Structure 1
Amino acid sequence: MITVHHLEDSRSQRVLWLLEELNTEYEIHYYERDPETRLAPPELKDVHPLGKSPVIVDGDRTIAESAVIVEYLARTYGNGEWAPTIDDPGYWNFNYWLHYAEASLMPPLLLKLVFSRLREPPVPFLIRPISSKIADQVDNTFTDPQIETHFSWVNEYLTDHEWFSGEAIGAADIQMSFPLEAARSRTVRQGQYPQVDAWLKRIHARPAYRRALEAGGEYAYGPNLDD
Structure 2
Amino acid sequence: MITIHCLAYSRAIRLIWLMEDLGQPYDLVRYDRTDAFRAPQALRDVHPLGKSPVIEDGDLRLAESASCLRYLTRKFDDHTHTPDPGSAAFAQHEEMLDYVESSFAAACMRVLLPAMKGEEVAEKARDTLQMHLGYIAQSLPDHGLLFGDAATLADIQMSYLLANLAAGGFLAETPRVATYWNDLQKQPGYIAATNVAGPMAPDL
> Could you tell me which of 163, 179, 182 is aligned with 1:181?
163
State the TM-score, normalizing by the size of structure 2.
0.88
SS at match of 2:192: helix
Provide runs of 4+ in structure 1 moved above 6 Å.
none
Whether the aligned pair in 2 keeps the contact of 1:6 and 1:30 (CA below 8 Å) is: yes
Higher helix content, 1 or 2: 1
The 2-side partners of 1:170 and 1:79 are apart by 11
- Pairing of 1:16-165 with structure 2 (within 5 A): 16-35=16-35, 37-84=36-83, 86-116=85-115, 139-140=122-123, 142-160=124-142, 162-165=144-147
Contact 1:75–1:83 (8 Å) recurs in 2: no
Distance 1:116-1:199 versus aligned 2 partners, 3 A rule: closer
Identity across the alignment (%):
31
Greater Cα radius of gyration, structure 1 or 2: 1
1:200 aligns with 2:181: yes
In the TM superposition, what is the alpha-carbon distance from 1:84 to its structure 2 partner? 4.6
Measured in 2, the distance between the counterparts of 1:114 and 1:48 equals 23
2:192 corresponding residue in structure 1: 211
Cα shift at 1:10? 0.8
Deviation of 1:33 after TM superposition, in Å, equals 0.4
- Displacement of 1:19 in angstroms is 0.8
Distance 1:24 1:220, change over 3 A: closer
Summarize deviations over 1:68-97 as a string: whole Å, max 9, x none: 011111222252222356523322101111
Residue 201 of structure 1 deviates from its aligned partner by 2.0
CA RMSD of aligned residues (A): 2.3
Distance in 2 between residues matched to 1:70 and 1:213, nearest whole Å: 17
The amino acid across from 1:60 in the alignment is: D
Report if aligned partners of 1:33, 1:39 keep a CA contact under 8 Å in 2: yes
Distance 1:159 1:176 in 2: 15
Stretches of structure 1 that go unaligned for 5 or more consecutive residues are: 121-131
Contact 1:3/1:56 (CA < 8 Å) preserved in 2? Answer: yes
Give the gaps of 5 or more residues in structure 2: none
TM-score, with length taken from structure 1: 0.80
Q: Structure 2 CA distance, aligned partners of 1:90 and 1:66?
A: 21
Q: Structure 2: how far apart are the matches of 1:173 and 1:8?
A: 20
* 8 Å CA contact retained: 1:2, 1:26: yes
Contact 1:75 1:82 in 2 (8 A): no
Give the match's secondary structure for 1:28: strand
* CA spacing shift, 1:189–1:173, aligned 2, 3 Å: closer
